[in-house]
């Protein structure tokens, strides 16, 4: 594993476990010495310091946030400054606007970005790329699977990495988002970067 520095082991980082590849995020966090908890209920959310929102199917995840009664408690924690790392579908859910979302898909509006779902094509159009990330010395190998595109950034959002001309990693205050799947790379550095804010 690239990175692998020990982080504050008194933290408990939640991983939203309603749908998607949440277990890979748990693996990465545990490898860098962080206690994790799968978040499926408001009670689970109350027990964590920070949260990772993984990839998956964003419309399904949006519906599950509502049916599990997590949407409102999560919105309140976000407004109160809880650090959250959203990847792929997680980024879509955290965005202020979804340009091609379904009418019943509610974004959390936690980061001032506009996103387009599946912007790079279908599953067969998935790809990998080495990207230069601000603050990291060596490039990060990013895995893009049915990835969303950040269409626009608000003035308070900082672009941390690009793939060609597209922003693929961005941060605003307590929110970090990636349009790719960092948990699928053999590299812990982005999870470590997120946890430095916790």
Q: Where are the domains of the chain?
A: 12-195
Catalytic residue from among 25, 26, 163, 181 = 181
Residue among 184, 125, 133, 132 at smallest CA distance from 149: 125
Catalytic residue from among 25, 26, 163, 183 = 183
Catalytic, 191? Answer: no
pLDDT score, position 56: 86
Catalytic residue from among 25, 88, 163, 191 = 88
Complete DSSP assignment for the chain: -B------TT-EEEEE-SSSSHHHHHHHHHHTT-EEEEE-SHHHHHT-SEEEE--S-HHHHHHHHHHTT-HHHHHHHHHTT--EEEETHHHHHHEEEETT--TT------EEEEEETTTT-SGGG-EEEEE-BTT-SS-EEEEESS--EEEEE-TTPEEEEEETTEEEEEEETTEEEESS-GGGSSB-HHHHHHHTT-
pLDDT score, position 20: 80
User: Is the distance from CB of 15 to CB of 25 less than 8 angstroms?
Assistant: yes
pLDDT score, position 24: 95
pLDDT score, position 107: 86
Class of domain 12-195: alpha beta
Catalytic, 88? Answer: yes
CA distance 147 to 120: 6
Tokens of residue 36, six digits: 């994790």
Catalytic, 181? Answer: yes
Residue among 94, 47, 75 at smallest CA distance from 194: 94
pLDDT score, position 125: 62
Name 158's bridge partners: 171
Write the pLDDT tens digit of every residue in 169-187.
999 999 999 999 999 998 9
pTM value is 0.92
Hey, what's the torsion of the CAs at 106, 156, 116, 88, to 10 degrees? -80
pLDDT score, position 28: 96
The mean pLDDT values, 10 residues at a time, for the chain of 198 residues are 56 93 93 96 97 91 92 96 96 91 78 86 76 95 92 96 95 96 95 92
């Amino acid at each position: 594993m690239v990175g692998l520095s020990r982080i504050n082991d008194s933290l408990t980082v939640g991983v939203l476990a309603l749908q998607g590849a949440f277990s890979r995020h748990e693996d990465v966090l545990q490898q860098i010495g962080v206690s994790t908890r799968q978040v499926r209920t408001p009670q689970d959310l109350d027990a964590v310091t920070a949260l990772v929102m993984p990839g998956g199917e964003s419309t399904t995840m949006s519906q599950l946030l509502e049916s599990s009664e997590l949407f409102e408690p999560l919105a309140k924690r976000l407004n109160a400054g809880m650090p959250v790392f959203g990847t792929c579908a997680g980024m879509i859910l955290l965005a202020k606007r979804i340009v091609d979302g379904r009418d019943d898909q509610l974004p959390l509006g936690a980061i001032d970005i506009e996103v387009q779902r599946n912007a790079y094509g279908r599953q067969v159009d998935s790809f990998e790329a080495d990207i230069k990330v601000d603050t990291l010395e060596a490039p990060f190998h990013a895995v893009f699977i049915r990835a969303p595109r950040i269409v626009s950034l608000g003035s308070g959002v900082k672009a941390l990495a690009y793939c060609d001309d597209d922003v693929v990693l961005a941060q605003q205050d307590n929110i970090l988002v990636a349009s790719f799947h960092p948990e699928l790379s053999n590299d812990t550095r982005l999870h470590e970067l997120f946890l430095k804010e916790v």
